[in-house]
Amino acid sequence: MSTLKRFVSYYRYEWKLFLLDMVCACLIAGMDLVFPIVTRVFMKELIPNRQLRLMLIYIGVLVLMYGLRLVLQYIVDYWGHIVGVRMEYRMRKDLFSHLQTMDFKFFDNTRVGHLMSRIVNDLRDVSELAHHGPEDVFIASLMLIGSFLYLVNINVQLTLIVFLFVPFIAWYAISMRTKMSEAFRKERERIAEVNADLENSLSGMRVAKSYTNEDYERDRFDSANVNFKEAREHAYKRMAEYTSGLNFLTNLLNVAVLGAGGLYTYHGVIDLADLTAYLMFISFFLQPIRRLTAFTQQYQQGMSGFSRFVELMEIEPEIVDSPDAIELGDVRGHISLRNVSFSYHEKSPVLHDVNLEIEPGKTIALVGPSGGGKTTLCHLIPRFYDVTDGAIYIDDQDIKDVQLYSLRKNIGLVQQDVFLFTGSIRDNILYGDPNATDEEIIQAAKSADIHDFVMSLPERYDTYVGERGVMLSGGQKQRISIARAFLKNPPILILDEATSSLDNVTELIIQESLNKLSEGRTTLIIAHRLSTIKNADEIIVLEQGRIVERGSHTELMETGGTYAQLYKSQFHINDVA
């Protein structure tokens, strides 16, 4: 009931159109009941009494009525569907907005294809349910009541026979409802798996081709596709059992009425005109039953998707603003990590009791073996994850007491794995500040040493970069990401191995841009190429989640510890190369 209540709540945004739809549907239902009534009048009175004038008047009224019905039907078919479309749009909008609030941990544990399926496929039947659901129930109820009253007026005994079938029809529909609901829910889960495998395979298409694993990808996708096919076949099997069984019961009802009506006519209980009108009304009586049948099927399909929508909407992010969170303004860039420990899983600690003071405007380098916790530490500062123990302060303000938006607004992040959005170069630079002017975009590009390259392109800043920037080189993508950071202009900067995947020549060019970007900012640099951080104010060596050394490049080389070994090992390898 809570899911249904949530579904109904979306009607409040379109209540005027919904009310118009229901009024028009009500008038259509009333008009549909008129024709068999008029038919009975024709057969019992007008035709036997040869009342031609009244027949013409009735026919004229029916023509006008059906002209009005044409208009009403157009409103129901168009504006009624608009109600459903707008509700689906609002649900999809709400779900996407909700996903924007989720933390990194959620996305770490959820496949993108599953989320895409929730946003797109799970809500595809909601539009039809939103339109036809209330309409079908309301019209069916009116037609059942109206038909019943008129049928009783014609013959009580026949009407009792008709309504003896109603409990059996209702019992069958209810008994099949749970099975059909479960089948369609399983179908939703299977299509989500297909989407997840599809997204994964298409994103890794270049890797698959380079390893000649096309057949492996086909087999893997086909496995998920077969599961979806079987789930869909099972869902339609349940639906077929449901619809065919109900059609059988309604056909039996027709036969029963025809047989009983024939006997009553034979014995003179009712005349032929009443039987004809009765049989016509039975077809109208069966219409609402068929509407309810269609509604039940549609309800299961629509609500199975909507329930998965609700399931996702009810997942709360773990990292949220505290009730009295304040805005972080006028940031100087003083960062303090006090007894910080962190683990992704309880049994696998990544950081142990880390203490670190970073003065405003200073550059701190984090080095050490892979898996030592360098990236994790940097991800804790903008609260992508929350510390397990200890606290992180910016300008003596605990970041847990700061609004997330204002915290992250003051932190810039340039990563090794650059993500460019599908679109133009301008769009990707503009991501640093959506309100920036063209002059500011160009200045940011110049600072990142990418402007001259952009101007050499036929479309210049409107050049399409392809999926994830595939049409650009690694160095070009990196410089665009640096231009993005220049445009954001944050007081705190995190450089996460920003040049480690580049060749030496490109690295030198990028390094110059990064040096300009770091000027006047508190900067944390994660680096494997130790030559890039020799001039850092302080170098922190992390090993197995603990700070094992700290100092300047000269000081650490003199001690001959872990850093010195890493540095000598790296440059020995370079010399050999």
Which residue type occupies 113? G
Asked whether residue 78 falls in the same domain as residue 227, the answer is: yes
Question: What pLDDT score was predicted for residue 210?
Answer: 57
Is the model's pLDDT at 573 over the cut of 60? no
Domains of the chain: total: 2
pLDDT band at 577 (very low <50, low <70, confident <90, very high): very low
Give the strand order in the sheet containing 546-551: 411-415, 492-496, 522-526, 363-367, 538-543, 546-551
Asked whether residue 293 falls in the same domain as residue 374, the answer is: no
Is the model's pLDDT at 330 over the cut of 90? no
Is the model's pLDDT at 178 over the cut of 70? no
Asked whether residue 219 falls in the same domain as residue 113, the answer is: yes
Question: What pLDDT score was predicted for residue 502?
Answer: 59
Assess if residue 97 is contained within a domain.
Answer: yes
Question: What pLDDT score was predicted for residue 71?
Answer: 92
Cβ atoms of residues 466 and 493 within 8 Å = no
Domain of residue 392, residue span: 326-410+495-501+524-577
Residue 362, domain CATH: 3.40.50.300
Mean pLDDT of 104-110: 81
Question: What pLDDT score was predicted for residue 506?
Answer: 66
Question: What pLDDT score was predicted for residue 140?
Answer: 78
Other C-beta atoms closer than 10 Å to the C-beta of 237 total 13
Is the model's pLDDT at 574 over the cut of 50? no
Is the model's pLDDT at 359 over the cut of 80? yes
pLDDT tens column, 423-443: 888 888 888 888 888 888 888
Cβ atoms of residues 72 and 20 within 8 Å = no
Asked whether residue 335 falls in the same domain as residue 268, the answer is: no
Asked whether residue 238 falls in the same domain as residue 193, the answer is: yes
Percentage of the chain exceeding pLDDT 90: 3
Asked whether residue 265 falls in the same domain as residue 343, the answer is: no
Alpha-carbon gap, residue 326 to 395, rounded angstroms: 13
Assess if residue 167 is contained within a domain.
Answer: yes
Asked whether residue 160 falls in the same domain as residue 281, the answer is: yes
CB burial of 18-57 (b: ≥16 within 10 Å; e: otherwise) equals bebbbebbebbbebbbeebebbbbbbbebeeeeeeeebee
The H or E element that residue 523 is part of is: strand 522-526
Assess if residue 244 is contained within a domain.
Answer: yes
Mean pLDDT of 538-549: 87
Rounded to the nearest integer, the mean pLDDT of the chain is 81
Mean pLDDT of 502-520: 71
pTM reported for the whole predicted model = 0.72
Q: Which of 313, 346, 368 is the last residue in one of the domains?
A: 313
Cβ atoms of residues 494 and 414 within 8 Å = yes
Flag the least confident range among 438-447, 487-496, 512-521, 550-559: 512-521
Q: Which of 291, 313, 335 is the last residue in one of the domains?
A: 313
Assess if residue 562 is contained within a domain.
Answer: yes
Asked whether residue 332 falls in the same domain as residue 305, the answer is: no
Three-state DSSP state, 325: coil
Is the model's pLDDT at 176 over the cut of 60? yes
Mean pLDDT of 95-123: 81
pLDDT band at 505 (very low <50, low <70, confident <90, very high): low
Is the model's pLDDT at 204 over the cut of 80? no
Asked whether residue 66 falls in the same domain as residue 112, the answer is: yes
Q: 272-313 and 126-154 helices cross at what angle (nearest 10)? A: 150
Is the model's pLDDT at 135 over the cut of 70? yes
Residue 178, domain CATH: 1.20.1560.10
pLDDT tens column, 438-483: 888 888 888 888 888 888 888 888 888 877 677 777 778 888 888 8
Question: What pLDDT score was predicted for residue 498?
Answer: 63
Q: Which of 313, 348, 372 is the last residue in one of the domains?
A: 313
Assess if residue 20 is contained within a domain.
Answer: yes
pLDDT band at 576 (very low <50, low <70, confident <90, very high): very low
Assess if residue 472 is contained within a domain.
Answer: no
Is the model's pLDDT at 571 over the cut of 70? no
pLDDT band at 333 (very low <50, low <70, confident <90, very high): confident
Question: What pLDDT score was predicted for residue 393?
Answer: 92
Asked whether residue 359 falls in the same domain as residue 234, the answer is: no
Asked whether residue 555 falls in the same domain as residue 577, the answer is: yes
Measured CA to CA in angstroms, residue 445 lies from 162, 435, 513 at distances of 79, 16, 10
Assess if residue 205 is contained within a domain.
Answer: yes
pLDDT tens column, 232-277: 888 888 878 877 887 788 788 778 878 888 888 888 888 777 777 7
Is the model's pLDDT at 371 over the cut of 70? yes
pLDDT tens column, 43-94: 778 887 888 888 888 889 889 988 998 999 898 888 888 888 888 888 888 8
Asked whether residue 306 falls in the same domain as residue 389, the answer is: no
Helix residue ranges per DSSP H, 102-125: 104-108, 112-119
Is the model's pLDDT at 368 over the cut of 70? yes
Is the model's pLDDT at 575 over the cut of 50? no
Flag the least confident range among 44-48, 115-119, 142-146, 468-472: 468-472
Assess if residue 484 is contained within a domain.
Answer: no
Mean pLDDT of 538-542: 88
pLDDT tens column, 276-320: 777 776 776 677 777 776 777 677 778 877 888 888 888 888 888
